[in-house]
Amino acid sequence: MGKLKLGVLVSGNGTNLQAIIDRIKEGKLSASVEIVISDNENAYAIERARHGNIPVHTVSYKSFASREKAEDRVMEILGKYNVGLVVLAGYMKLLTKHFISAFPMRIMNIHPAILPSFPGINVIQKALEHGVKFTGCTVHFIDEGADTGPIIIQAVVPVKDNDTEETLAQRIHDKEHIIYPIAIQLFADNRLILKGRRVFVKGYEYSQRQPSINPYNL
Ligand code: GRF
């Protein structure tokens, strides 16, 4: 079996794309980024793809009569590159049923909160304002809801009293860059088993207790 072929969809900075490219280069992620698609021609992620010698396409939704027509173009490109997993990495367009049904359980997303808390946008600010003591990030499969699909992996980070949105975002992003490549590797190794809406990892055993109380060490 060949390496898992990824199509990465981006709209912005592309630090998650970068993490995936870097892990592949280091030999820690056995997959290949075949194509990067951006809906935004000014996304810095495009530079990152070019720097990694990865083909890039921009699909500007404005130039299509409907969202579905734009998605058809995206799907056409993904098909051309024989993509086995669609990786949403800061892609700011909601996908319709039309797209999602073409890639059943083959679209992943990363979200900067512990779902189902704080779905949607501006969630780091919302978590901070809400006063939660932990937040984090979630990799999940896409279903037809907004941030509702089966959860693959989550990482928590503490919220500190002196956090700003920026410091908290940085702590979350550092964890995103760790867990997204792990989720992709598990998919590549066929280790993700879906039962109902729960995702189990074949052969995984808990070995260590992690601290889960914050604040602690009082
Ligand atoms: C990340 O916070 C991710 O959780 C969210 O969009 C952001 C993308 O950041 N979906 P980047 O473009 O990968 O730097």
Helix (H) / strand (E) element for 51: namely helix 44-51
Domain end among 87, 103, 119: 103
Kindly tell me if the per-residue pLDDT of 90 is higher than 60.
yes
173 among known catalytic residues: no
Mark whether 165 and 124 lie in a shared domain: yes
**Contact 183/206 with Cβ under 8 angstroms?**
no
Kindly tell me if the per-residue pLDDT of 5 is higher than 60.
yes
Mark whether 126 and 218 lie in a shared domain: yes
Top-confidence residue, 107 or 206: 107
Mark whether 126 and 216 lie in a shared domain: yes
Mark whether 79 and 143 lie in a shared domain: no
Tokens 């073409």 appear where?
102
CATH code for the domain in which residue 32 is found: 3.40.50.170
Mark whether 85 and 171 lie in a shared domain: no
Does the CB atom of residue 16 touch ligand 1 within 6 A? Answer: yes
Region 158-164: mean pLDDT is 97
In the chain, the percentage of residues whose pLDDT exceeds 90 is: 92
Kindly tell me if the per-residue pLDDT of 86 is higher than 60.
yes
Domain end among 51, 71, 103: 103
Give, using CA atoms, the residue closest to atom 14 of ligand 1: 15
Confidence of residue 210 (pLDDT cuts 50, 70, 90): low
Mark whether 8 and 86 lie in a shared domain: yes
Region 89-105: mean pLDDT is 97
| Half-sphere exposure for 84 (CA within 13 Å, toward CB) | 14
Mark whether 98 and 30 lie in a shared domain: yes
pLDDT in tens, 38-55: 999 999 999 999 999 999
Q: How far does residue 1's CA lie from ligand 1's centre (Å)?
A: 31
Give the per-residue pLDDT at 76: 98
Burial 71-102 (b: 16+ CB within 10 A, else e): bbbbbebbeebebbbbbbbbbebebeeebbeb
Does the CB atom of residue 158 touch ligand 1 within 6 A? Answer: no
* Ligand 1 atom closest to residue 89's alpha carbon, by position in its atom list: 13
Would you state the structure tokens that stand for residue 120, as one six-digit string? 């949607």
Confidence of residue 206 (pLDDT cuts 50, 70, 90): confident
Domain count, the chain: 2
Give, using CA atoms, the residue closest to atom 5 of ligand 1: 90
* Ligand 1 atom closest to residue 88's alpha carbon, by position in its atom list: 10
Mark whether 74 and 14 lie in a shared domain: yes
* Per-residue DSSP letter, 133: S
Domain end among 103, 135, 161: 103
**Measured between alpha carbons, how far is residue 47 from residues 15, 16, 34, 36, 105 in Å?**
11, 13, 15, 11, 29
Q: How does the average pLDDT of the chain come out, rounded? A: 95
**Contact 59/77 with Cβ under 8 angstroms?**
yes
Mark whether 30 and 94 lie in a shared domain: yes
Mark whether 62 and 17 lie in a shared domain: yes
Helix (H) / strand (E) element for 176: namely helix 165-188
Kindly tell me if the per-residue pLDDT of 217 is higher than 60.
no
Mark whether 66 and 23 lie in a shared domain: yes
Region 82-102: mean pLDDT is 97
Range of the domain at 26: 1-103
What is the rounded CA–CA span in Å between residue 73 and residue 57? 10
Tokens 């501006």 appear where?
122
pLDDT in tens, 10-40: 999 999 999 999 999 999 999 999 999 999 9
Give the per-residue pLDDT at 161: 96
Q: How far does residue 16's CA lie from ligand 1's centre (Å)?
A: 6
Kindly tell me if the per-residue pLDDT of 119 is higher than 60.
yes
Give the per-residue pLDDT at 2: 84
Helix (H) / strand (E) element for 129: namely helix 123-130
Mark whether 175 and 97 lie in a shared domain: no
What is the rounded CA–CA span in Å between residue 109 and residue 137? 10
Kindly tell me if the per-residue pLDDT of 118 is higher than 70.
yes
Does the CB atom of residue 71 touch ligand 1 within 6 A? Answer: no
Give the per-residue pLDDT at 117: 98
Does the CB atom of residue 12 touch ligand 1 within 6 A? Answer: yes
Tell me, yes or no, if the pTM score tops 0.75: yes
